[in-house]
Structure 1
Amino acid sequence: MRIGALKLKVQIFCGDAIAMGPGKADLLDAIEGEGSISAAAKAMGMSYRRSWLLVDEMNRCWPEPLVEAVAGGGRRSGARLTAMGARVRDLYRTLEQDVESAARGGAFAALADMVRSAPVQTA
């Protein structure tokens, strides 16, 4: 989220891996809307491989998988968010809103007022 000149990005780590961040939450939204990982990737302009790697990483970082994929090409094939996936995504979105609300005042606002719009050029 960008507020003035400052940008905040909420990321939750699992070791060195990003367990959840804005892009992964967007991917979960797309999977929920599209019904498959490949369609979600296409809608987001990313490769299927990249989206699958992100889903795999998320699934390995939480106590239960966030996305369940069903292969086969039949009527029941595709992907869906698990109950854990929907809960993690929804809690993450709430956290983003909380951070954005907190950022509207205090130290964040003071820093936004102080920072230059661009670096000073050196001779």
Structure 2
Amino acid sequence: MLDQKNDWNLKVRVWIERDGEKVLGPGRYELLGHIDTHHSISAAAKQMKMSYRRAWSLVQDINRAAGETLVEVSTGGKGGGGAILTPRGKEAVRIYESLLKKTARLASDFNKPARKSS
């Protein structure tokens, strides 16, 4: 193990891939969270100060990379379109959140000041 020095910190960035393509990372996770809350890609994009076109492109990339639909989109109609996370999309978000918590604990343990031996 590395000798831990006071000026060393562990930083971890988590993402999930399938066949070498990113399915979820910090930004995509945030986008899915906003879609789940607002049931709208447009509203999610506004929350993230992102263009609708960029958000739509990310949703397409997420679904393609996942090899299945994580975000289901409906178009038109009286109330307009909408977007929801599928059950598999909700599961992917839960898994990602679990990984974030586990890696945060690991980083926190590493970043604690080393105890001096007596």
Match of 2:95 in 1: 91
Number of aligned residue pairs: give it. Answer: 107
Amino acid across the alignment from 1:21 = G
Q: Tell me, which stretches of 5 or more residues in structure 1 are unaligned?
A: 114-123
Match of 1:105 in 2: 109
Query: 1:28-69 CA deviation, whole Å, 9 max, x = no partner?
Result: 010011111011101110011111111111101224211000
Amino acid across the alignment from 1:13 = E
Is this contact kept in 2: 1:17–1:57, CA < 8 A? Answer: no
What aligned pairs does 1:44-123 form with structure 2 within 5 A after superposition? 44-75=48-79, 77-106=81-110, 109=111
Is this contact kept in 1: 2:31–2:44, CA < 8 A? Answer: yes
Give, in whole Å, the separation in 2 of the partners of 1:66 and 1:74: 24
Q: Tell me, which stretches of 5 or more residues in structure 2 are unaligned?
A: 1-7
Deviation at 1:15, TM superposition (A): 4.0
Q: Which has the higher contact order (CA 8 A, sep 6+)?
A: 2
Residues 15-24 or 92-101, more deviating: 15-24
Supply the RMSD in Å over aligned alpha carbons.
2.2
TM value normalised by structure 2: 0.79
Amino acid across the alignment from 1:45 = K
Deviation at 1:6, TM superposition (A): 4.5
Give, in whole Å, the separation in 2 of the partners of 1:17 and 1:35: 25
Give, in whole Å, the separation in 1 of the partners of 2:95 and 2:16: 12
Secondary structure, counterpart of 2:108 in structure 1: coil
Residues 69-78 or 18-27, more deviating: 69-78
